[in-house]
């Protein structure tokens, strides 16, 4: 019995040492970004996108650095919806990312892209920053280094 509970405890710890990837549709994403006391930085990425993977550590670092500030970083995967269990969850687990992670649930790409930003061509990586209190909602179709990301946060918060 003791062994079983130890095992359970151990699995709980390993389970929660990284983020659970949840499916997320547009309605829920918009709702997630609606608080006025929080700055949101939403990165759109995919497991197959090399420049995306290269910049994810910067987003993780930003969230960890400012964990005591009202900042929420979200990693929203644009992988195929069928790849949640085979690719996206194992990827987040492997890299032990603790930043909030989601998989975009969409009927088609276009609807999703246009609702994030009309000027987004659909190329990834892309990053959305939202500060409702200041009325800021800006989308960047580009890559970020940690310093650039930090600067973006500092000038938006």
Q: Which residue has the tokens 């497991």?
A: 47
Q: Which residue lies nearer to another protein by CB, 38 or 47? A: 47
H-run or E-run covering 109: helix 109-116
Q: Is 140 in the site for another protein (CB under 8 A)?
A: no
Contact call for residues 56 and 45 (beta carbons, < 8 A): yes
Q: How far apart are CA 80 and CA 129, in angstroms?
A: 24
Q: How far apart are CA 37 and CA 132, in angstroms?
A: 8
Q: How far is the CB of 110 from another protein (least distance, A)?
A: 5
Q: How far is the CB of 90 from another protein (least distance, A)?
A: 16
Q: Taking Cα atoms as reference points, which of 74, 83, 138 lies closest to residue 105?
A: 83
Q: Which residue lies nearer to another protein by CB, 113 or 130? A: 113
Q: Is 125 in the site for another protein (CB under 8 A)?
A: yes
Q: Taking Cα atoms as reference points, which of 129, 116, 35 lies closest to residue 78?
A: 116
Within 8-67, the residues that bind another protein by CB under 8 A are 46, 48-51
Within 74-113, the residues that bind another protein by CB under 8 A are 78, 80-82, 108-110, 112-113
Q: How many chain residues touch another protein (CB under 8 A)?
A: 22
Q: Is 120 in the site for another protein (CB under 8 A)?
A: yes
Retrieve residue 59's tokens. 């987003």
- Could you list the residues that contact another protein (CB under 8 A)? 46, 48-51, 78, 80-82, 108-110, 112-114, 120-125, 141
């Amino acid at each position: 019995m003791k062994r079983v509970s130890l095992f359970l405890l151990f699995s709980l710890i390993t389970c929660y040492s990284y983020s659970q990837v949840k499916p997320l549709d547009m309605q829920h994403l918009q709702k997630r970004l609606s608080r006025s006391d929080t700055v949101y930085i939403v990165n759109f990425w995919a497991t197959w996108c090399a420049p995306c993977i290269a910049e994810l550590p910067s987003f993780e670092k930003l969230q960890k650095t400012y964990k005591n500030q009202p900042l929420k970083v979200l990693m929203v995967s644009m992988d195929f919806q069928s790849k949640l269990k085979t690719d996206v969850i194992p990827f987040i687990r492997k890299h032990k990312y603790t930043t909030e992670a989601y998989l975009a649930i969409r009927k088609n790409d276009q609807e999703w892209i246009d609702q994030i930003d009309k000027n987004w061509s659909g190329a990834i990586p892309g990053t959305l920053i939202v500060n409702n209190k200041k009325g800021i909602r800006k989308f960047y179709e580009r890559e970020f280094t940690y310093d650039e990301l930090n600067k973006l946060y500092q000038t938006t918060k």
